[in-house]
Chain A
Amino acid sequence: MLKINSFSKTYAGGVKAVDDLTLHVEPGDIYAFIGHNGAGKTTTLKACAGILDFNEGEILIDGVSVREDPVACKKKIAYIPDNPDIYEHLTGVQYLNFISDIFRIPPVQRNERITKYAELFEIKGNLGDVISSYSHGMKQKLAIISALIHDPKLWLLDEPFVGLDPKATHLLKGIMAERCAEGCAVFFSTHVLEVAEKLCNKVAIIKHGKLMASGTMEDVKGSASLEEMFMEVTENDHEA
């Protein structure tokens, strides 16, 4: 589903954010991407989403190169940033309709999906309000709904649980598991290691742009907890 091969990204200031990263996400995977602040998680996710240009390596989504055919790749993915930058001057429903128009979702289907997810996330009553009046959590819920409307094969989520209430967090975890059971994949960054440990079948740990460990949850953490493993890997620079 997602193949990142020897990906490197150096910013204009000369800082190498990601260095020779190789990582494969298969259909059905819920793949956690963990690391310190500034480790390169967001850079990687943005490059996968086609937001960021990169210098070296290759990123393929469902066999298509993000560099060569970004539009085709973006049709298959949904990206949710860590801080949902949604048009604050629009109402919730105007924003969802905008995204639906971009993905050319037929009216009946879009209404059905908007209703379903808005009810699930309990923001149906707020869809007519302007987004600037939403709380951070409500914006996050709206961003999640907009990422579900076009039924993407791959979800790229940057800190998706930040700002969500416990019920919405539970719901999101359920949707992630449900979608992966249907053959889709989720690749997301998080600092909540307990969630990653319970929810994900695979995990990757990144430090200073370099991949320190990756693979199935069991292989990476062994008999220790993910937190212990993370602390050991990031503090001792052990190569996995």
Chain B
Amino acid sequence: MKLNEIFLLFRVQLLGFFGANQTKKVKASGGKRKPRGFVYMAVISALAMLYFSTQYSIMIAMSAVGEGAASPKTLPLFMGFTCSMVVLISTLLKASSTLFGEGDTDMLLSLPVKSSSIIASRILVLYAMDFFYTAALLIPMGVVYTVNFHPPVSGILLFVVLFFIVPLLPCVLGSLIGTLIEILTARFGRSSLLRNLLSVLFFVAIMASSFSISSGSPERMAQMFEKVCGIAVKIYPPLQWVADAFCDGSVVKFLLFVGVSLAVFALFCTVVGSRFKQLVGFVGAKKSGRSYKLSADKNGSPFKALYRKELKRFFTSNIYFMNFGIGMIMAALSSIAAVVFRARILEAFDERTLLLARGVPFLLSFFICMSATTACSVSLEGRNFALLRSLPIDAKDLLRAKLAVNLTVTSPLSLLCAVALAAAFRMRALEVCAAVVLPQLYAVLSALLGLMANLRYPMMDWKSEVTPVKQSAPTFITTIGLMPLSIVPAILVMALSAVYPFVVAALAAVLALSCALCWRSLMKNAEKKIRAINV
């Protein structure tokens, strides 16, 4: 493993982030290519995330720590744990395709670079992808802590370095789990389904443990945060070293954390690097030798064929499935949890069960907005899009199939969740109607907006699925941009609870009208938009 090799390989990958190099070069040559709206949206999203993270840090500092009910270290411990979990999950989702599935693997393996350097550069790519979350979570925490609790100057200086190191360990751990899942599932023919299942199980385990932490009916928030931090440190002891280094300026704990992080990183790169070729071959190997029998019962309309292709694409791509399926998995888990812990939740909300019932459609809509599979469904066609376009397919059918798959993912499950939550919280007819109808409208609107964003900013020249799924403008715009669509109306409904039926009806009308307008625009210009995509 050589540092200059790692740097070279990493730099080349970094130039591809969000199409930055293309944008720069096309702009330099006088061409026009770029999504200016994407840049604005990215800046607004970053500012919004920083704002919410800051508010959250202040809330912890004031409500928990400021009252003296918990140790000041609760703040860095809690935010450090949140950051580590986010990085761990995010890395896990991308690990397999980034470490072993990149299109440049053959080219890199033919160059005189060590395999461990290739692995190291790819882990750094994963690390860089998650840096946004790290910055959004840790910078506000650092500032809030410094202002409120005045750590020693040495602690602040150590924190500046730690800020860059904190995500490394969860990133390596996520890569390790992703690699193990890949090895386990590659042995089976239907590995993609099994991989999705294992990823979901892992995610459920994390969610379940988080729920068990927060459902301990703490009487005060301070106690809850401290309880969470106590468990977090037990699960992940290096967090304590980070907090000690920052809060007390402990150089020993700082060196311990940095040393362990770098050692684990180097060890992973060396071990996986030594088996890299075998792993790439193993992961890329497909079962063969089965005698395939041609059956005549699979015929159908072009729309059906496109729908089947699209659905298969969703379920066989782990990164695609986990990135856009996670919202609905969370919706399902939340609903199950609500049914199981119904009594405890109702007791906690006491007089405010109506508030709880009215929040249900927006909670479901929030999860639905995380599940706009259409946001990268066009980009995921990649180079194959040229072939698809050469076929006698109606452009409208092509778009309808993508929308239908998105609705297949979101619509039935959100309906089931609404029914389960309505039963659990004994909702009244009006609230039940809202819980059933509003999420369905959100499902249609998010699918339409996602598709429109993707048609506006398609990214067809990718080498790895991670690029269109995680690093493309439409995904970013859709995921971040759709969130306020469910949050703002929720605030509005809560604020105007006196005229709840009117607000819900107005919201439903606005959503339905928006859906109709988007649908009309998409279908009217379908052929033109499809033709405009450069492959």
Task: Give me the interface of A with B, judged by CB distance under 8 Å.
Answer: 11-15, 46, 49-53, 71-72, 74-75, 77, 79, 81, 85-91, 94, 98-99, 101-103, 128-130, 132, 156
Give residues of chain B (104-118) contacting chain A, Cβ–Cβ below 8 Å: 104-107, 109-114
**Could you tell me the distance between the alpha carbons of A179 and B17 in the complex, rounded to whole angstroms?**
38
Q: Please pick, from B8, B12, B106, B281, the residue contacting A90 in the complex, using a CB distance under 8 A.
A: B12
CA distance A86 to B113 in the complex (A): 17
Tell me the complex Cα distance, A50–B277, Å.
Answer: 9
For A74, the chain B residues whose CB sits under 8 A away are 110-113
> Contacts of A102 on B, CB cut-off 8 Å?
5, 8, 111-113
**Closest CB in chain A relative to B70 CB, distance in Å:** 47
**Complex-state Cα separation, A102 to B121, whole angstroms:** 14
**Interface hub of B112, B186, B461, B463 (most chain A Cβ within 10 A):** B112
CB-based contact A49/B22 at 8 Å: no
Whole-angstrom CA separation of A89 from B278 in the bound complex: 28
CB distance from B510 to the nearest CB of A (A): 40
Query: Which one of A13, A86, A91, A130 has the greatest number of beta carbons of chain B within 10 Å?
Result: A130
Residues on A with C-beta less than 8 A from B16 are 87, 89-90
Closest to A86 in B: B107
Q: Which of B59-81 contact A (CB under 8 A)?
A: none
Query: Which residue of chain A lies nearest to B105 when distances are taken between CB atoms in the complex?
Result: A51
Q: Complex formed: what's the CA distance from A94 to B282 in Å?
A: 32
Contact among B19, B112, B186 for A103, CB-based, below 8 A: B112
B-side residues, CB < 8 A to A, are 5, 8, 12, 15-16, 19, 21-22, 25-26, 28-29, 103-107, 109-114, 186, 277-278, 281-282, 285-289, 461-463
Known: A49-B109, A75-B112, A130-B22. A87 touches B12 (CB 8 A): yes
6 A-B pairs in the complex with CB atoms less than 8 angstroms apart: A12-B282, A13-B286, A49-B109, A49-B110, A50-B277, A90-B12
A170 to B103 alpha-carbon distance, docked (Å):
30
Least Cβ–Cβ distance between B285 and chain A, in angstroms: 3
B103 near A89 with CB under 8 A, answer no
A40 to B195, CA, bound (A): 30
Taken together as a complex, chains A and B put the C-alpha atoms of A14 and B282 apart, in Å, by 12
A-B residue pairs, 9 tightest by C-beta? A12-B285, A89-B16, A79-B110, A74-B112, A132-B461, A53-B277, A13-B288, A51-B109, A49-B110
Give B137 Cβ to nearest chain A Cβ, in Å. Answer: 28
Q: CA separation between A71 and B5, bound complex, in Å?
A: 12
A77 and B278: CB pair below 8 A? no
Instruction: List, in ascending order, chain A residues with CB within 8 A of B282's CB.
Output: 12
Candidates B22, B114, B287; contact of A71 at CB < 8 Å: B114
Number of cross-chain contacts by CB at 8 Å: 97
Report the nearest A residue to B4, measured CB to CB.
A101
A71–B111 CA distance with the chains assembled, in angstroms: 8
B186 CB → nearest A CB, Å = 8
CB contacts (< 8 Å) of A132 on chain B: these are 22, 461
Contact A13 B278 (CB under 8 A): no
Tell me whether A98 and B12 are in contact (CB under 8 A): yes
Which of chain B's residues have a CB closer than 8 A to the CB of A52?
A: 277, 281
Expressed in whole angstroms, the minimum distance between the Cβ of B413 and any Cβ of chain A is 35
Residues of A within 8 A of B104 (CB): 85, 87
Given the known inter-chain contacts A71-B114, A90-B15, please indicate yes or no for A50 contacting B109, CB distance below 8 A.
yes
Residue of A51, A71, A89, A103 contacting most chain B CB atoms (<10 Å): A89
Instruction: Assess the B22–A51 pair: CB atoms within 8 A.
Output: no
Q: How long is the Cα–Cα vector from A98 to B14 in the complex, in angstroms?
A: 13
Task: Determine how close the nearest CB of chain A comes to the CB of B273; give it in whole angstroms.
Answer: 12
Measured in the bound complex, the distance between the Cα atoms of B12 and A52 in whole Å is 23
What's the minimum C-beta distance from B129 to chain A, rounded to whole angstroms? 15
Interface pair B111/A91, CB less than 8 Å apart: no
Contact B21 A71 (CB under 8 A): no
Whose C-beta in chain B lies nearest to the C-beta of A132?
Answer: B461
The residue on B at minimum CB distance from A103 is B112
Contact B25 A129 (CB under 8 A): yes
> Measured between alpha carbons, how far is A75 from B277 in the docked complex, in Å?
18
Of B104, B111, B288, B463, chain A has the most CB atoms within 10 Å of the CB of: B111
| A130–B25 CB distance below 8 A | yes
Chain A positions within 8 Å of B15 at CB level: 87, 89-90, 94
- In Å, the complex CA distance between A148 and B19 comes to 29
Complex: A136 Cα to B111 Cα, angstroms = 22
Q: Look across to chain A and name the residue whose beta carbon is closest to the beta carbon of B102.
A: A85
Known: A51-B110, A103-B112. A14 touches B12 (CB 8 A): no
Taking a contact as CB atoms under 8 Å apart, the answer to whether B21 and A94 are in contact is yes
Q: Which residues of B contact A103 (CB under 8 A)?
A: 111-112
Task: Name the residue of chain A whose CB is nearest to the CB of B278.
Answer: A53
A91 vs B22: C-alpha distance when bound (angstroms): 8
* B285 close to A46 (CB less than 8 A): no
Q: Please determine whether B21 and A89 come into contact, CB atoms closer than 8 angstroms.
A: yes
CB distance from B117 to the nearest CB of A (A): 10
Is B113 a contact partner of A15 (Cβ separation < 8 A)?
Answer: no
Known contacts A88-B463, A91-B25; is-contact A71 B113 (Cβ 8 Å) = yes
Q: Which residues of A contact B8 (CB under 8 A)?
A: 98, 101-102
Rounded to whole Å, the gap between the CB of B346 and the closest CB of chain A is 53
- Tell me the bound Cα distance from A125 to B245 in angstroms: 54
Instruction: Indicate if the CB atoms of B22 and A11 lie closer than 8 Å.
Output: no
Q: Give the distance to chain B from A34, nearest Cβ to Cβ, in Å.
A: 22
Which A residues lie within 8 Å of B281 (CB)? Answer: 11-12, 52-53
Residue on B nearest A98 in the bound complex, by CB: B12
Chain A residue at smallest Cβ distance from B103: A85
Q: Which residue of A has the minimal Cβ distance to B7?
A: A101
Option from A13, A49, A98, A99 in Cβ contact (under 8 Å) with B285: A13
Residue of A at shortest CB range from B187? A12
